[in-house]
Chains A and B, each alone.
Chain A
């Protein structure tokens, strides 16, 4: 604590790498005790439950079935009104949760898998293979993703959700890869990795059991970020008509709302609820990432004592 007086916070949060193993991992526990992350996790859990129990919650099995008159305002019978085609918006919203979350999480996971493989390989092997992988990463990072995705989807012509997953994943891994690469570089030079190498552990064991466990919070936050990106991009693609409009997702509900001039006809119930759902899921993911940030860098936290002190000091 020698320079503790002026920078006591830095003393406690110096980014050292205590050796972590899978067994002693407490990220999940730490996350749930962080207020922001807990709220975020709560919202996500709610939507996951809705997705799982969609058949129980939704009034009808087929979200595309016409059940009422066009553009009916919310009523007891149709709590969120009907679409221009007379479909029940609530039913669509519940069923849409499934596809939206599925595409989001699957894409996020594929993205992070690619990012982990490329990032760690690039950081662990040095020399020209690293040069090439970093160059590739940086190039993919700098080419604007959405226009490229739009052009590819345009050529594919009405891609289904799985195609969207593939296209998104193949273009969106670069950010995660770059972050993970630099972290790998740092960890690679730590004592415990050196020790493992001296004792002759095979590379895959070092990567899997020495390096990866020490990047959990980083991988987790990159994953959350990728899911958020996937949810938003999927919705965007569908909104501009590049998805399959017959598969009900939050994005396609908005596509139909826009196409049926919902704004002009004041049919707010067709475009407010799906947007709110997307925003809620997005905000929940952002909250979880705030939490992860605060856990891995305690300096970012604003605890109550500090608030009080600061308020007193800052006159």
Chain B
């Protein structure tokens, strides 16, 4: 099989200015074209990710967190489409890159670990080949050099390098996920997106993998955008956490602040519905109702139909603004404005 040479890089990443975020998502919107109409899967989402930071995105299934992750890497395929907004990496807008530029950019600077390690590896190629493929596509290395680098990568993620000739079915679930992580680290990217990296694994392996990632992050100094529905894992692992509901970011704060003092009623319910090992014992509660249909999302605050403290006449009509209510603690809820007003007035 002949290989196309790696496309000539015509992308120059401007250096990061002091205090400039590594990744800055500005008013991102994503729609899915379906027969029933446009599904507004992500709407007006903005956040910054600083260098060296672990930023978590959490929410129920279907809230749009994975869609955001894929949009950041421009992995969306029809019927999904970025409908608006910017994704700035080093200040460079990724949404404007051409296909060739994108092919060159992706993986070199930013990579992703998919949800399911079971399906993310090609069953008919050795894991060594699958790691080397990424290297060969982006560098001028020879096959031997790429192989040596693959061996190194396997060692880095804690796999016996002799496994380089193994096929995915010969590895356990945990080992496969380690291989996928090795693939993601192949070109030393500055940002790795982890999309529920441990969903398919049992709890013990899950812990091992997360510890491994933390160790690798310290040694290789990459930043992480961490997607998960598991709030306790997220709070433990991330520096800051954003909560998404029905395609929108509704709260974002440092992990301990989200954990100790969630402000948005939805985050509060979400925290209630998760058992924590270390936290105080409390009654587990679910959230009544189900996420809205995103073809015709509810007006005003998208959470109002399920919110037991919604304010009549306000939450139904007016979209709440994402506002900073405490140090680095942002949320979008009318109730918080009302609360603030009461003690002040």
Contact = CB atoms under 8 A, between A and B. Distances in A.
Touch between A and B in complex, CB under 8 Å?
yes
Interface of A: 1-6, 8-9, 303, 305-306, 309-310, 313
Nearest to B115: A3
- A4, A9, A303, A306 — which one has the most chain B CB atoms within 10 A of its CB? A4
B70 A8 contact: no
B45 to A, nearest CB: 13
B78 A309 contact: yes
B78 A5 contact: no
B225 interface: no
Contacts of A306: 78-79
B267 interface: no
B79 A5 contact: no
Contacts, number: 53
Nearest to B81: A309
4 shortest interchain CB distances as A-B pairs: A5-B70, A1-B62, A5-B67, A309-B78
Interface string B53-73: 000000001100111011100
A309 B33 CA distance: 11
A141 B230 CA distance: 50
B335 interface: no
B32 A310 contact: no
Contacts of B75: 5-6
Contacts of B65: 2
A4 B78 contact: no
Given A4-B80, A6-B114, 11 more contacts: A1-B41, A3-B66, A3-B116, A4-B66, A5-B30, A5-B66, A8-B32, A305-B33, A306-B79, A309-B78, A309-B79
A5 B62 contact: no
A3 B70 CA distance: 9
Contacts of A310: 78
B76 interface: yes
A306 B81 CA distance: 12
A5 B73 CA distance: 11
B180 to A, nearest CB: 14
B314 to A, nearest CB: 30
B66 A8 contact: no
B312 to A, nearest CB: 31
B65 to A, nearest CB: 8
